[in-house]
């Protein structure tokens, strides 16, 4: 519980910074088994013109760049937890399973792409034999995460093809 | 030359008969039928799995109405007993098709048990032409040759290549980095494509319209990465037994997602690519 109160605000902070850069505001932070921050990150899909640059992968890549693969592997073998503001998508959930992330704690649900139950449940699927992720917990600081996403979606995504005016959209708080 | 095999959906697999299930029905007064239909919508809603059944059928000059699944009838009845008594129902158990029809022929066959509605599915993309198959096989052979210097992967393809089908040019390539658990070839290939494409004037939105060639069926992570990238088609030859995203999990065909792509499995075993 203390861990959630400590770390989810860090992930939220990352998400808020993504708004400034015109990215979908989802942020995350990886924490070691000793409770030390390993890496934090947020979406960079628009900036990199790459739909796979989700917060979870961006932060992981930062970690590898800073620490090197050998040390990263060592940390993951001891147990690494992830705090992310929105339910990881199918791709990220599979990545977290491959990395054997210990605990995944997320904020709001991801109805469009969610891999932890919303669209698919990758971490508990019997058809995939990856004995990754130990536990998944959602709904942690969910309201804050949703508010952040709403704030973003009332703006316009200039990178989407044929952008449409969003006259109808107002922020309800 | 063996033709590439399109990964079929569950609903495309052959079937010679259809499963039956039991429902309770009752003859009703013609005059009260429409009123009953409306009322039953609320108090006896049809099981979602039985949405293909017509609620009412006409037999000669009588009308019969479906009351609900036979095994649930007892409890449904007891909770609405008084109301149902007023309609003079005479419950009879009949067999009906438990699945929706896939074509008009099935609709007619099923209708002999109880009428069903047939909703044609969206028309699928046409199969590629002979010439397109040739090009597809050529790229598939190419990626195989590239992989031969690497050990076969267990969790995902060791190599990947993104091709522009308009002119057959290679947009980007990727190879696995085994020192890292998620540096898969497909993911790397998408990264490289993004770098290349962002320098081109009038750049595409992600990998729209492009095709991905791999040796092994991409893993769940890479399949979803291809969905996110709006890839047009993925071609592979080897089944991914452990973590495949196409054959068993069919993530490329998930209707809940905002993009779907075609997937083909090619058979190169009778080809002479090994000797080349």
What is the tens place of the pLDDT at every residue in B110-122?
Answer: 999 999 988 776 5
Residue B57 gets the label, from left (phi > 0), alpha (psi -120 to 50) or beta, of: beta
Q: What is the pLDDT of residue B127?
A: 78
How crowded is the C-beta side of B84, counted as CA atoms within 13 Å? 20
Domains of chain B: 20-110 (3.30.70), 125-275 (3.40.140.10)
B71/B202 Cα distance (integer angstroms) = 61
Residue A127 is nearest to which of B221, B227, B248, comparing CB atoms?
Answer: B248
pLDDT band at B268 (very low <50, low <70, confident <90, very high): confident
3-state secondary structure of A42: strand
Residue B53 gets the label, from left (phi > 0), alpha (psi -120 to 50) or beta, of: beta
A11/A98 Cα distance (integer angstroms) = 22
Q: Which of residues 145-204 of B touch A (CB under 8 A)?
A: 155, 179-182, 187, 190-191, 194, 197-198, 203
Q: What is the pLDDT of residues B67-109, one digit of tens each?
A: 888 888 888 778 777 777 777 788 899 999 998 888 888 899 9
Q: Are B221 and A95 in contact (CB under 8 A)?
A: yes
Spatial strand order in the sheet of B169-175 = B5-6, B262-265, B233-236, B211-214, B159-164, B169-175
Segments of B3-77 assigned E as strands: 5-6, 20-28, 56-59, 62-69
A12/A152 Cα distance (integer angstroms) = 13
**The dihedral of CA B172, B176, B181, B186: what is its sign?**
positive
B239/B261 Cα distance (integer angstroms) = 18
CA distances from B152 to A120, B36, B176, B253 (A): 28, 64, 10, 26
Do B251 and A99 make contact, defined as CB atoms within 8 angstroms? no
pLDDT (mean) for A16-45: 96
Instruction: Annotate B180-222 with DSSP letters as a single string.
Output: STT--HHHHHHHHHHHHHHTSTT--STTTT-EEEESBPPBHHH
When computed from its CA atoms, the radius of gyration of chain A, rounded to whole angstroms, is 16
pLDDT band at A89 (very low <50, low <70, confident <90, very high): very high
Identify the weakest region by mean pLDDT among A93-107, A130-144, B210-224: A130-144
B10/B253 Cα distance (integer angstroms) = 11
A-B CB pairs within 8 A amount to 91
Q: Which residue of B has its CA nearest to A93?
A: B221
Q: What is the pLDDT of residue B22?
A: 92
Residue B156: phi and psi, rounded to 5, are: -165, 170
Q: What is the pLDDT of residue B276?
A: 32
Q: What is the pLDDT of residue B274?
A: 39
Q: What is the pLDDT of residue B103?
A: 83
Do B254 and A120 make contact, defined as CB atoms within 8 angstroms? yes
Whether the predicted pLDDT of A153 surpasses 70? yes
Partners of A51 on chain B (C-beta within 8 Å) are: 206, 225, 228-230
Partners of A57 on chain B (C-beta within 8 Å) are: 182
Residue A99 is nearest to which of B155, B182, B258, comparing CB atoms?
Answer: B182
Do B206 and A50 make contact, defined as CB atoms within 8 angstroms? yes
A130/B242 Cα distance (integer angstroms) = 8
pLDDT (mean) for B171-189: 95
- Cβ-based neighbour number of residue A77 at 10 Å: 10
Partners of A120 on chain B (C-beta within 8 Å) are: 249, 251, 254
Spatial strand order in the sheet of B56-59 = B56-59, B62-69, B20-28, B92-97
- Asked casually if ipTM beats, i.e. exceeds, 0.85, the reply is yes
Q: Which of residues 92-111 of A touch B (CB under 8 A)?
A: 92, 94-95, 98-100
Note whether A131 contacts B: Cβ–Cβ < 8 A. no
């Amino acid at each position: 519980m203390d861990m959630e109160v400590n770390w989810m605000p860090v992930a939220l902070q990352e998400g808020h910074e993504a708004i400034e850069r015109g990215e979908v505001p989802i942020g995350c932070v990886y924490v070691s088994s000793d409770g030390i921050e390993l890496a934090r990150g947020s979406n960079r899909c628009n900036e990199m013109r790459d739909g796979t640059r989700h917060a979870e992968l961006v932060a992981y890549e930062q970690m590898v760049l800073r620490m090197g693969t050998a040390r990263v592997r060592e940390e993951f073998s001891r147990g690494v937890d992830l705090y992310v503001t929105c339910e990881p998508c199918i791709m990220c959930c599979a990545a977290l399973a491959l990395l054997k992330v210990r605990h995944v704690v997320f904020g709001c649900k991801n109805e469009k792409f969610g891999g932890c139950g919303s669209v698919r449940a990758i971490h508990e699927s019997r058809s995939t034999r990856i004995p990754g992720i130990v536990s998944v917990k959602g709904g942690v600081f969910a309201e804050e995460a949703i508010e952040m996403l709403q704030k973003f979606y009332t703006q316009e995504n200039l990178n989407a093809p044929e952008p449409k005016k969003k006259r109808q959209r107002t922020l309800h708080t | 030359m063996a033709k590439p095999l399109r990964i079929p959906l569950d609903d495309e697999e052959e079937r010679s008969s259809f499963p039956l299930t039991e429902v309770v029905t009752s003859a009703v007064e013609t005059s009260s039928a429409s009123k009953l239909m409306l009322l039953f919508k609320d108090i006896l809603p049809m099981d979602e799995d039985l949405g293909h059944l017509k609620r009412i059928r006409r037999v000669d000059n009588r009308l019969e109405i479906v009351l609900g699944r036979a095994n649930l009838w007892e409890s449904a009845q007891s909770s609405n007993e008084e109301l149902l008594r007023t309609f003079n129902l005479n419950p009879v158990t009949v067999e009906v098709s438990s699945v929706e029809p896939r074509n008009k022929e099935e609709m007619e066959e099923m209708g002999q048990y109880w009428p069903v509605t047939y909703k044609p599915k969206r028309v699928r993309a046409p199969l590629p032409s002979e010439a397109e198959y040739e090009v597809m096989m050529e790229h598939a052979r190419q990626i195989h040759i590239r992989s031969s210097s690497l050990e076969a992967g267990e969790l995902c393809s060791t190599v990947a290549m993104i091709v522009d089908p308009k002119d057959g040019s290679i947009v980007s390539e990727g190879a696995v980095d085994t020192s890292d658990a998620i540096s898969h070839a497909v993911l790397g290939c998408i990264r490289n494509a993004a770098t290349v494409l962002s320098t081109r004037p009038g750049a595409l939105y992600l990998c729209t319209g492009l095709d991905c060639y791999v040796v092994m069926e991409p893993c769940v992570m890479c399949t979803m990465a291809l969905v996110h990238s709006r890839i047009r088609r993925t071609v592979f030859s080897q089944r991914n037994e452990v973590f495949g995203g196409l054959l068993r999990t069919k993530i490329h065909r998930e209707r809940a997602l905002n993009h779907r792509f075609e997937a083909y499995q090619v058979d190169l075993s009778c080809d002479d690519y090994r000797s080349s």
